[in-house]
Amino acid sequence: MKIVVLDGYTENPGDLSWSGFESLGEVTVYDRTPADKIVERIGDAEIVIMNKTPISRATMDACPNIKYIGVLATGYNVVDVAAAKEKGIPVCNIPTYGTASVGQFAIGLLLAICHHIGAHNESVHKGDWEHNIDWCYWNYPLIELADKTLGIIGFGRIGQTTGKIAKAMGMKVLAYDSYPNEAGKAVAEYVDLDTLLANSDVIALHCPLFPETEGIINKDTIAKMKDGVIILNNSRGPLIVEQDLADALNSGKVYAAGVDVVSTEPIKGDNPLLTAKNCIITPHISWAAKEPRQRIMDMSVDNLKAFLAGAPVNVVNK
C-alpha cells in the first residue's frame, strides 16, 4: 500500500517520527506540495495524508487509486468532502488534540498584554535597568487580573480549559455558548452575548467558524463592550472583522488585542492589525507544542488503522 504525506513539515519538522505510518505501508513524505505538483505526487497512492494541501474533485478524478484521505488537523475545509463521499473515500480528521495547549496559549497572550515580559526583558538586556536612576521601572502599564471578568465566547473543551486557568488566577468567568452543559457550569456563569460583551474586562474567542459566528467581533459588538476591553483570539481569524478591531484599538475603545489567527494565513502585508496599536500577533502556533503534535501523529495513525480494519473513525463525510 502506498501512502503519501503531501505537507508534513508543520506537523513534523524533524522532532517526531513517521514510523507509525511506515509500519502500514510504503511512505513518501513531502515537506510541502505546490498546487501544480499535487496530482503528480499522489500518483497511484491509495492513502493521502495532508494538512493544508487542497484536495479537489479534479485531483480525485486524476488520482483514481485514492481510497482514504487523512487530515493532520481538525479543520478539513481544503478537502472537497462532498466529492470524496460520492467516490466512497472517507475523509478522517483529528477532532481534539490540543485542548490544553490552546487554552494555555490564550492565557499566554493575555499575560503578555498585562506584563509585556518580552519587551521588559529586551529593555533590561539593552542596558536600561543598569542605567536607571531608580531600583525598578516599567515601560508599559501593568495589569492585575484577579477580580476582573473574562468572557469566553464558545465554551467547549478549549473554552472551559481557558476558563479554569483564569479562575485559578482569581478571575470571574462568563460564558456564551449555544449548548450549556454541567461541566461548563462548574467553571463559568452562562449568559447571553450582550451580557457578556457589556460585563467583560477581557473577551476570549473559542468558538468554531460558522456563518453565524463569522465576524462576531465587529464595530457593533465592540460598541457594546467596556471601554478598555482586551480581546483574545486563537480560534479562527474570520471571527473578527479586522478593520473594525484595528479602528477600535487605534481609538482606545479596545485597550489591546492578542491574536494567534488572522483572516488570511499567512498574514498579508496590508492586514490592518499589523499597524494597529497594542496588538500582539503570533503565527498560528497555539497548537504547535510537541505534545499536541505527537497526539496528531498518533491519532492519524490510529485513524488509518481503523480504516484498514474496516471500521473508520473520525469520518467527516459520512
In the chain, where the domains are located: 2-97+292-308, 99-281
**Out of 116, 206, 236, 293, which one is annotated catalytic?**
236
Shortest CA distance to 13 belongs to which of 21, 2, 5? 5
User: CB–CB of 28/3 below 8 Å?
Assistant: yes
155 vs 164: CA distance, rounded Å: 11
262 vs 239: CA distance, rounded Å: 9
Q: How many CB atoms lie within 10 A of CB 95?
A: 11
Q: What is the pLDDT along the chain (318 residues), one digit of tens a residue?
A: 999 999 999 999 999 999 999 999 999 999 999 999 999 999 999 999 999 999 999 999 999 999 999 999 999 999 999 999 999 999 999 999 999 999 999 999 999 999 999 999 999 999 999 999 999 999 999 999 999 999 999 999 999 999 999 999 999 999 999 999 999 999 999 999 999 999 999 999 999 999 999 999 999 999 999 999 999 999 999 999 999 999 999 999 999 999 999 999 999 999 999 999 999 999 999 999 999 999 999 999 999 999 999 999 999 999
232 vs 282: CA distance, rounded Å: 12
CATH topology of domain 99-281: Rossmann fold (3.40.50)
Residue 196, pLDDT score: 98
Cell numbers for 190:
452562562
159 vs 277: CA distance, rounded Å: 26
| CA distances for 312 relative to 22, 43, 248, angstroms | 19, 23, 47
User: CB–CB of 281/240 below 8 Å?
Assistant: no
Asked if 115 is an active-site residue, the reply is: no
Cα 115 from chain centre: 23
**Out of 22, 144, 212, 265, which one is annotated catalytic?**
265
Report the SS3 class of residue 167.
Answer: helix
Asked if 236 is an active-site residue, the reply is: yes
At 37-94, the pLDDT tens digits run: 999 999 999 999 999 999 999 999 999 999 999 999 999 999 999 999 999 999 999 9
**Cis amide linkage into residue 266, ω under 30° from 0:** yes
Shortest CA distance to 171 belongs to which of 199, 192, 133, 198? 199
Residue 94, pLDDT score: 97
Shortest CA distance to 113 belongs to which of 28, 272, 209, 228? 228
8 vs 297: CA distance, rounded Å: 10
pTM: 0.94
Q: Which CATH superfamily is domain 2-97+292-308 in?
A: NAD(P)-binding Rossmann-like Domain (3.40.50.720)
76 vs 162: CA distance, rounded Å: 24
User: CB–CB of 286/105 below 8 Å?
Assistant: yes
Residue 289, pLDDT score: 98
Indicate the helix (H) or strand (E) that contains 279. Answer: strand 279-281
Asked if 189 is an active-site residue, the reply is: no
Cα 210 from chain centre: 15
173 vs 183: CA distance, rounded Å: 13
**One fold for 2-97+292-308 and 99-281:** yes
User: CB–CB of 20/296 below 8 Å?
Assistant: no
**Out of 284, 291, 293, 295, which one is annotated catalytic?**
284
Q: How many CB atoms lie within 10 A of CB 26?
A: 12
Number of H helices, E strands in the chain: 12, 12
